[in-house]
Structure 1
Amino acid sequence: MSEINFRIVVRIIGFLLCFQALFMLLPLGVAIYYNESDIFAFLTTIIITASVGTFSIFLFKKHNNQMGKREGFLIVSTSWIFFSLFGMLPFLINGDIKNVTDAFFETISGFTTTGATILDNIESLPHGMLFWRSLIQWLGGMGIILFTLAVLPMLNSGGGIQLFNAEVPGITHDKLRPRISETAKRLWGIYLSITALLVILLVLGPMNFFDAVCHALTTTATGGYSTKQNSIAYWDSAYIEYVIIIFMLISGINFSLVYHAALGDYKKLLQDEEARWFLLVVLLATIAISGGLFISGQTYGGIEPTIRTALFQVSSCITTTGFATADFTKWGSFFSVVIFCIMFFGACAGSTSGGAKTIRMVVVLKNTANEFYRHLHPNAIVPVRINRRVISYDLVSKILAFLFVYVLVMAISALILSALGMTFEEAFGCTLSCLSNVGPGFGKMSSDFSFETIPALGKWVLSFDMLIGRLELFTVLILFTPYFWKKS
């Protein structure tokens, strides 16, 4: 194994920062349009970010294009940290967030599409800041590195596939086209199209254009940042809730399947085993919660509103969007356990959702069933099949290792939070919420929709959980192993 090519790492991060500066022009335009106090903050941040990015590009103008797996992991992991460090500057410069810990937490929560917030009065933010919060979730949903692969030809022959595999969530990655840049363009194209369609549908309801754009960005990204402190409950609109439910579920499905369905090929979507399991879990969880609400007498004014409320919370939590129309933690422990489970499962691989992913849970379920069979027939060879394809034992082993590390990280993080004075429910609930990139808190954090009261160390622990959760653990954690840095 050769030495890590740090020159190309720095150069590509420079390109990424320049793209980030370009995207910051959008909230700057919003700030100028509304003529509010955040104009200076965005202008200053754009200058700083573009300057650092340009310097990084030209610092190693003559460089080796060689990029392997280690460079891919390093670029993806560190770039998300740099996005958050530079992305938090507008909040600090404008004074909307007073310290680095809270600003970094808010920003990395946005980029990782977690949606956990430390703000307790969101409506007080200027429009530019509100739009920036939504935009960073939209960029993080599909991935700014994937966007760079679509528009930067130099990466197609310089290890672009390494970056693609390191950033896109899932156990396998479907290439829509032979060239990785063409795949990236098509994925971003369908992502943009879904967002635009959702804007139109939301404007037809009680939302104004600005709120519609912001919520369309955060819905397709399954991020959950809202322009209102009370989230979607603010509008009290069945139409808005049903539209967002539909688009949350669409965004929770593998985007390559959505792409084929958009072209008229519904067969792949309907026959996909993961998508069917995902929708089945949504159905069963909705039945369990709505039935429980009726039995416990916690109805919302009738059969339809109660079922809608249950469906909205299930869709929001399993797709890890994190929007709210009700505080599910007040329903009772049974409901919290159901929500906890679907937050752990997550939606489909290849979507913008977080969580462990439905496909991994299906593979583990089938492998466990096979183990029961092998107890009776020890010499039998019974492979795990998904979509009629045999899943190799090596892949099954990787999935089991992933789930073990997932639970281990959750336990360690919850242990640290409990040592900081948080209750059992708050420690495990908030850890899972951040690790699965969901957003809603538990206990005291659910009542005011804010993580503000968590101690500073706890916020850094949860920020780390958000990052490794978005990049599916190993992409980041491998950087902490000694053999990653060894030259052999």
Structure 2
Amino acid sequence: VLPMTDGRAMHLMRAEVPGPTCGKISSKLSDSAKILYAIYLAMTVIETVMLCAGGMPLFDALIHSFGTAGTGGFSNKTLSVGAYNDPYFEVVIGVFMLLFGINFNLYYFLLLRHFREALASEELHVYLGIVAFSTLTITANIAGLYDSVGTALRTAFFQVSSIVTTTGYATVDFNLWPTYSRVVIVILTFVGACAGSTAGGLKVSRVIIFFKAARQDLNKMLHSHAVTTVRFEGKPLDEKTLRGVHNYFNIYIMLLTLSVLLVSLDGFDVVTTFTAVATCLNNVGPGLELVCPMGSFAEFSAPVKLLLAFDMLAGRLELYPMLALFAPRLWRKRNNAMHEARAK
């Protein structure tokens, strides 16, 4: 997504930003970083001002703006954003969580007035479609739990925005919602937001490519002589990109499965065990049952907490950098380089 001249930086960027490139911001890494930081800072300042305008103390506004911008979800309130019980704060933070889940390249295109290129993004359309579908169906499912449809809609939007962007803020204990709503929340935990955003999760771009590749394989089975290509953002994808997405899914599923198996040794129920791993690997925060928004990870054993901490780091760094630490060849190369440096 961002061009780099340094080989190691390029590998790290490829690991962090999945799928095909979405366009270049600048020919220099330093210039690209400055542009992205400026957009990031401007959005953070705007959110802070809007929260202060609604009556939130400046310190609280800064904390929640930083937590929103980095999709980290940190709050200085035990009950998170729900502690304020203010619809205005919920709407502002909900909207900005959604905005920070969008590929930052698109904001740069908007600044350059390339509106057609920005608004034509396939990933953006799917991302907003997922949010809209999830919000509306959850609203219909939980409407009976609230005094009005408007309250149910606002609550559903906030939680959908929080979970799909892996921010993790909460205004209610969605563990008490009906089964359908909880299942949607768990699915959103895995999907994540757009590539090139501050969010975690699988990323919408990978999900799109994975489903398109699956459809292509099915077409080949039904029509063996058909020549088909997987296209994303209007461009055909090469086999290397498709293989990279499949490999990422394979590694992701293996790490998820192994982690669930090991965490299960603590003896908690299946929902707690599975969602604890899912929410850590995808950097969301709250899960269901014991690790719901009103719960915590305190009851897990020390070894399991270390495993979940590893999952959080692996998910944040898109798996490869963390897993590379366990590659013997990497350490041999490092040792050889150190010996050569000492010899000189």
Number of equivalent positions: 332
Alpha carbons 2:134, 2:184 under 8 Å: kept: yes
1:188-236 deviation per Cα after TM superposition (whole angstroms, max 9, x unaligned): 1111111011100000113111100111111011110111010111111
Q: Read off the aligned partner of 1:395 and give its amino acid letter.
A: T
Question: Who is 1:258 aligned against?
Answer: 107
Instruction: Please report how far the alpha carbon of residue 432 of structure 1 lies from its aligned counterpart in structure 2 after TM superposition.
Output: 0.6
Counterparts of residues 303-318 of structure 1 (less than 5 Å): 303-318=149-164
- The equivalences for 1:136-147 within 5 A come to none
Greater displacement, 401-410 / 159-168 = 159-168
Partner Cα separation in structure 2 for residue 163 and residue 185 of structure 1: 20
2:97 and 2:165 in contact (8 A); partners too: yes
Distance 1:388 1:486 in 2: 42
Write the mapping of 1:122-201 to structure 2, written as runs, cut at 5 A. 159=7, 161-162=9-10, 165=13, 168-173=16-21, 174-201=23-50
Matches within 5 A, 1:442-457: 442-446=288-292, 448-457=294-303
1:337, distance to aligned residue in structure 2 (A):
1.2
1:241 is aligned to 2:71: no
173-182 or 198-207, larger mean C-alpha shift:
173-182
The 2-side partners of 1:157 and 1:362 are apart by: 29
TM-score calculated relative to the size of structure 1: 0.65
**Kept after mapping to 1: 8 A contact 2:5/2:29:** no
- Deviation of 1:450 after TM superposition, in Å, equals 2.3
Cα pair 2:134 2:160 within 8 Å, conserved = yes
CA apart distance, 1:245: 1.3
- For 2:308 and 2:224, the matched residues in 1 are separated by 44
State how far apart, in whole Å, the 1-side matches of 2:269 and 2:152 are: 30
Q: Who is 1:484 aligned against?
A: 330
After the TM superposition, which residues 395-434 of structure 1 pair with which residues of structure 2 at under 5 Å, given as runs? 395-434=241-280
Q: Say which of 276, 288, 310 aligns to 1:464.
A: 310
Q: Amino acid of the residue matched to residue 202 of structure 1? A: L
Q: Which amino acid aligns with 2:27?
A: P
C-alpha offsets along residues 311-354 of structure 1, whole Å, 9 cap, x if unaligned? 11111000001000111111132222111111101000010000
Match of 1:67 in 2: none
- Normalised to the residue count of structure 2, the TM-score between the two structures is 0.91
Contact between 2:20 and 2:241, CA under 8 Å: does it hold in 1? no
1:277 counterpart = 2:114 = no
Taking only the aligned residue pairs, the percentage that are identical comes to: 36
Q: Which whole-Å CA distance do the structure 2 matches of 1:215 and 1:476 have between them?
A: 29
The separation in 1 between residues aligned to 2:174 and 2:112, in whole angstroms, is 38
Code of the aligned partner of 1:372: L
**How far off is 1:449 after superposition?**
3.7
> How far does the alpha carbon of each residue in 1:429-460 deviate from its partner, in whole angstroms, 9 at most, with x for none?
01110100101132122163422222111110
CA distance in 2, matches of 1:197, 1:407: 38
Q: Indicate conservation of the 8 Å contact 1:166/1:475, yes or no.
A: no
CA distance in 1, matches of 2:244, 2:71: 26
Residues of 1 paired with 2:303 and 2:110: CA distance? 45
SS in 2 for 1:352: coil
1:336-355 alignment to 2 at 5 Å? 336-355=182-201
Tell me whether 260-269 or 316-325 shows the greater mean CA deviation.
260-269
Match of 1:205 in 2: 54
Deviations 1:384-435 (A, max 9, x none): 1011101112211111111121121111111111101222111110111010
Which one is further off, 327-336 or 272-281?
A: 327-336
Q: Distance in 1 between matches of 2:42 and 2:63?
A: 15
User: Paired residue for 1:229?
Assistant: 78
d(CA) in 2 for partners of 1:172, 1:485: 30
Does the alignment pair 1:394 with 2:218?
no
Report the CA distance shift for 1:190/1:160 in structure 2 as closer, same or farther (over 3 A): farther
- Write the letter of the residue equivalent to 2:308: L
RMSD across aligned C-alpha pairs, in angstroms? Answer: 2.0
Which residue identity is paired with 1:170?
A: P
Specify the alignment match of 1:383 in structure 2.
229
Distance 2:248 2:94 in 1: 29
Q: Could you list the per-position Cα deviations for residues 152-171 of structure 1 after superposition, in whole angstroms to 9, with x for gaps in the alignment?
A: xxxx8654633651664323
Q: 1:245 to 1:394 in 2, by over 3 A?
A: same
Q: Which ranges in structure 1 are unaligned for 5 or more consecutive residues? A: 1-145, 150-155
How far did 1:466 drift? 0.5
Contact 1:441 1:451 in 2 (8 A): no
Contact 2:106 2:118 (8 Å CA) reproduced? yes
Q: Distance in 1 between matches of 2:282 and 2:293?
A: 20
SS in 2 for 1:258: helix
SS in structure 2 at match of 1:264: coil
Does the CA-based 8 Å contact 1:411-1:428 persist in structure 2?
no
Q: Secondary structure at the match of 2:154?
A: helix
Distance in 1 between the 2:71 and 2:111 partners? 19
Residue of structure 1 in register with 2:342 after alignment: none
Secondary structure of the corresponding residue to residue 453 of structure 1: coil
Match for 2:87: what amino acid?
Answer: A
> Aligned partners of 2:193, 2:324: CA distance in 1, in Å?
25
| Contact 2:102 2:194 survives alignment (8 Å) | yes
Amino acid in structure 2 at the alignment position of 1:477 = L
Match for residue 3 of structure 1? none
Change (3 A) 1:432 1:193: same
Does residue 268 of the first structure (1) align with residue 117 of the second (2)? Answer: yes
